[in-house]
Amino acid sequence: MILFSTLVNKAVAQQDSFDIVKYTPLKGWKKEVKDYLTSYTVTDAKTSTWCVINVTKSTASKGSIEKDFDSEWNEFVVKGYDVKEPPVTDTVYEAEGWKIKIGGGKFIFNKANSMALLMTMSGFGKCVSIVVSSNSKTYGNDIQTFLASLDLKKPPFESKQNDTGVNDPVQNNIGSKGSGFGFNTTNFDDGWTSVEKEDWVEVTKGNIRILLHYKHPQADAYNSDIMVAEKNAWNILVAPRYSAAANMNFKPHISWQSIEFADADLTEASTGKKVYVVFFKKHYGNGSGTHLEFIAPDRPTFEKEFGKYNSEETWDKVERMAGYNRFAIGASDLTGTWTNSFSGMTQYVNAYTGASTGADTHASAQKFEFGASNTYKWDIGVASGFVGSVKFQTAKASGKFTVTNPWQIDFSDMEGKPKSFNAYFACSKDARVLWLQDKSYGGYNAFGKAN
């Protein structure tokens, strides 16, 4: 088993990232990106050896490193590799606010002994894991090099437990007078304030304003030339509100998750005031991303808050500001039907021949109907399994719901027992997205209003 006591590594090699995990990729390993993980694979046909490293997407912590590790072990190792025996584990380490637990176990693959290694990291209300599997000790040095390169981004909010027992990132909320929703202002514990506007969410602290632009069909249209895409978005979202520009720079950075970065000294058309503007967007692997416009009196003010100009450290701090599109909920805000759907497919191939060995598919649709007197109906339909033998399952429930506080909804019955969900709204153009997280497991899921 590979053991180490530190998580932070200031390597000079070019780093890659997935979700909140940054790392240095291994040369010669094949990369594959999915919604819920990024995998790196290497095989050697001569020796029939192989190794796979999976970087998983973060989920909400269950409250302790022990609970997080046990849950991740069951999800990724027991279910993924059919490991029968309990894991052999090591001492829990701590680094930079994260707790780290490592465990391993044996399994059989193609009639040969293999090993699965799980490293789970828990902190700041988040849980994330690295899963390594191999049939040979040959890759030990590569695995150790990869793990030693890991660095975790802290989430936008370092969640604090409030009196209600809910991870609440805000101090208070202010009711809306015109949007039709109960809350359109959020005051965060770190001093930032978010306000819902017609075309963006405006986030302010001191003399810095940030516009979290809503999705725009033209500004967010795909273009294989990122420089063209960046200038197009600037012309649509930024330029119309300014009368003069100087020292303009467009500096996109191309990678598997490309960065749009532009800045200029501008003059506001409405006030005549000179300001410094930074324009930023990170293109995530799933195609999402938000255009962020930072408005400061000058470049030193921007750098004092977010760090050195156009650096990777600055990108991380700037990127996290997209998470401030977050507003509380009221019971009356929920009235109507909210739905989501998900589908995906995993294609399996033989590690030695490359031949297809089948495909696994998954699709689900979930619906909440919120009615009068705090009543609700809920149903979910799931289809999953190997193509040709897909199984279908459904579940339904109804009862009473309670908005326990502006960030939590409790349901009287769901799959035979009461359930609690963390909840918040994110704003979009002329609509809102309801984000729900089952407090017993998993991350947030987005729901759109059907009526």
Q: Is the pLDDT of residue 20 over 90?
A: no
Q: Write down the pLDDT at residue 144.
A: 87
Asked if pLDDT for residue 359 goes beyond 90, the answer is no
State the CB neighbour count (10 A cutoff) for residue 391.
Answer: 9
Quickly state the pLDDT bin for 314 (edges 50, 70, 90).
Answer: confident
Instruction: Pull the structure tokens for residue 47.
Output: 């020796």
pLDDT at 167: 39
Prediction pTM value: 0.63
Mean pLDDT in residue range 66-94: 87
What is residue 174's predicted lDDT score, i.e. its pLDDT? 58
Contact in structure between 338 and 451 (CB atoms under 8 Å): no
Q: What percent of the chain has pLDDT over 90?
A: 49
In this predicted structure, what is the pLDDT of residue 164?
33
**Which two tokens mark 162?**
């409030």
Alpha helices, DSSP H, located in 140-199:
140-148
Residue 8 has pLDDT above 90, yes or no: no
* Two tokens, residue 84: 């029968």
How confident is the model over 234-281, as pLDDT tens digits?
999 999 999 999 999 999 888 767 889 999 999 999 999 999 999 999
Which carries the bigger pLDDT value, residue 181 or residue 3?
181
Whether residue 378 is predicted with pLDDT greater than 60 in this model: the reply is yes
The Cα 320–Cα 270 span in angstroms is 29
- pLDDT, averaged across the chain: 83
Rounded to whole angstroms, the maximal C-alpha distance in the chain is 74
> Which of 16-20, 108-112, 217-221, 341-345 is predicted with the least confidence, judged by mean pLDDT?
341-345
Of 420, 422, 403, residue with least CA distance to 333: 403
pLDDT classification of 37: cutoffs 50, 70, 90 = confident
Q: Residue 177 to residues 97, 171, 180, 236, 304: CA-CA distances in angstroms?
A: 40, 20, 7, 29, 35
Lowest-confidence pick of 169-183, 233-247, 368-382: 169-183
Mean pLDDT value of segment 384-391: 60
H-run or E-run covering 340 = strand 336-349
User: Picking from 209-213, 238-242, 303-307, 344-348, which range would have the lowest pLDDT averaged per residue?
Assistant: 344-348
Question: 444 vs 300, which has greater pLDDT?
Answer: 300
**pLDDT: is 173 or 425 the higher one?**
425
Using alpha carbons only, give the angle 248, 251, 253 rounded to the nearest 5 degrees.
Answer: 170
HSE-CB for 29 with a 13 A CA cutoff: 20
Decide which of 289 and 268 is more confident: 268
Q: Are 290 and 213 contacting, i.e. CB atoms less than 8 angstroms apart?
A: yes
Residue 142 pLDDT more than 60? yes
Burial code (b: 16+ CB inside 10 Å, e: under 16) for 262-274 equals bbbbbeeeeeeee
Q: Which of 172-176, 248-252, 340-344 has the lowest mean pLDDT?
A: 172-176
How many CB atoms within 10 Å of residue 372? Answer: 6
How confident is the model over 51-71, as pLDDT tens digits?
999 999 988 888 889 999 999
pLDDT of residue 350: 52
CA angle, residues 133, 134, 137, in degrees to nearest 5: 130
Q: Average of pLDDT values for 385-397?
A: 71
Mean pLDDT of 418-440: 91
